[in-house]
Amino acid sequence: MSHVLSLRCKECSREYPVEALNVCDFCFGPLEVVYDLQAIAKSTSREKIASGPNSLWRYADFLPAEYNPAIDINAGFTPLIRSRGLAERLGLDELWIKNDSVNPSYSFKDRVVAVAAAKALELGFDTIACASTGNLACAVAAVAARSGMKSYVFIPSNLEAGKILGAAIYNPTMVAIDGSYDDVNRLCSEIADSYPWAFVNINVRPFYADGSKTLGYEVAEQLGWRAPDHAVAPSASGAMFTKIYQGLKEFEATGLISHVHTKMHSAQARGCSPIASAYEEGRFVIRPVKPSSLATSLAIGNPADGYYALKVIEASGGSAVIAEENEIADGVKLLAETEGIFTEGAGGVAITGLKHLVETGKIKRDESVVVYITGNGLKTTELVADVVNPVLIEPNVEAFEAAMAARAAK
């Protein structure tokens, strides 16, 4: 059962009813969902969670919508893998990889959208929508298909054809917008204002964002009911990053795990690093940027939760780290070669960030680390197209042996 008390402005603390609202009328601050943690503590237990569904709905006590098996698309409860090859390469004793690239539509966005859609249905919406450059569009279209909602996805018209397919296959109404990134942003906020739809990251954003808390819960449960020493996650708006920490803290507050000491590290790409740049310059003011990065899923220039991400870094004793543009593909390849996991640019940023954190001594060999891999590489194959380099031979054994000998000699 859901234990939601109200929505509350993160800035001025004004309370709002549990409706499709995301900004405070008074100060334009973002709204967040307030839970009755005492009631949750009474209702939840390790056993109850462990016997729940194999999806993020095992944490329904902590979520703003009721568990509805009919629309559960099985988002979440993805593998947490103890790293061997990568850990050894980086010089870490206890590295864990949260492989969220194997969600139903192949990114962690299935978590946030699953929760947004469930709440949207409860609130009486029959249509769900988003503006996206990839993963979010896939998640909205897939979850809408599963839950029987209509869906509208808005995309910039210059998106690579390959990326669009992952969303189009679920048959949403797809609208391609011809314009600059800023134009697309402005148009979509206007559309969201004037249509009676649940726009996942606009009017139902408080509920949507809380889907990412499950990335914190799951890791704690999968580690045997404890929090790691460090967590490394890629950031765009910064929402997921802040919600992972909130998830860990809520498990602590409800007695499911003991003291959370996790240092939270946010990774961004050089071509779009408003959060990490503010961190490096020691300020809490985000300087919005024009994104230009190979990690297209992290390209948010004006991050809605950037300030809160900086606050989480400060509160947890963590940091922010930047992957250079020419390191992103290397990060993707490193994870694939050492662990057999094919991630996209965001994962390349996370792996590169992790590498830098170890190199600079922010993460020590004997500390436990979880790195979040949030998206799948098959959606953005352009990034690493240069790996395709097969040995081409005539169809006979001599040709094969000659080629292998030539290869060994190299």
Residue 163, CA distances (Å) to 138, 159, 189 in order:
9, 7, 23
Cα 203 → chain centroid: 19
How many whole angstroms from its chain centre is CA 94? 22
Distance separating alpha carbons of residues 322 and 280, to the nearest angstrom: 10
| Exposed/middle/buried for residue 175 (C-beta within 10 Å: 0-12, 13-18, 19+) | middle
Query: Residue 185 binds which one of Zn ion, other proteins, ligand PLP, none, with CB within 5 to 8 A depending on kind?
Result: other proteins
Q: Does residue 103 interact with other proteins by CB under 8 A?
A: no
Return the range that interacts with other proteins (CB under 8 A); candidates 35-43, 132-140, 220-228, 365-373: 132-140
Out of Zn ion, other proteins, ligand PLP, none, what residue 261 binds, judged by CB under 5 to 8 A for its kind, is none
237 lies in the site for ligand PLP, by CB under 6 A:
yes
Q: Could you say which residues in the range 151-180 bind other proteins, by CB under 8 A?
A: 154, 156
Q: Is residue 103 close enough to count as binding ligand PLP by CB under 6 A?
A: no
> Could you tell me the smallest distance in angstroms from the CB atom of residue 366 to ligand PLP?
28
Give the residue, chosen from 120, 346, 363, 371, that forms a contact with other proteins under the rule CB under 8 A. Answer: 346
Print the SS3 string covering 205-258. Answer: HHHHHHCCHHHHHHHHHHCCCCCCCEEEEECCCCHHHHHHHHHHHHHHHCCCCC
Structure tokens at 266: 């946010």
Instruction: State the number of binding residues for ligand PLP (CB under 6 A).
Output: 17
Q: Where are the alpha helices (DSSP H) in 154-211?
A: 161-168, 181-194, 205-210
- Out of 5, 26, 50, 382, point to the residue binding other proteins (CB under 8 A): 26
Report the distance separating Cα 385 and Cα 340, nearest Å. Answer: 17
> 286 touches which of other proteins, ligand PLP, Zn ion, none (CB within 5 to 8 A by kind)?
other proteins
Binding to other proteins (CB under 8 A) within 219-278 occurs at 236-237
Torsion angle of the four alpha carbons 5, 10, 11, 17, in this order, in degrees rounded to the nearest 10: -30
Q: How far is CA 394 from CA 389, 405, 407, in A?
A: 16, 15, 16
Map the footprint of ligand PLP across residues 344-363, applying CB under 6 A.
Answer: 346
Examine residue 206 and tell whether it contacts other proteins (CB under 8 A): no
**Residues of the shown chain interacting with ligand PLP in the complex, contacts defined by CB under 6 A:** 107, 109, 135, 234-241, 297-298, 300, 346, 374-375
**Residues of the shown chain interacting with other proteins in the complex, contacts defined by CB under 8 A:** 11-12, 22-23, 26-30, 109, 130-136, 154, 156, 181, 184-186, 188-189, 192, 199, 201-202, 236-237, 283-288, 296-306, 346, 375
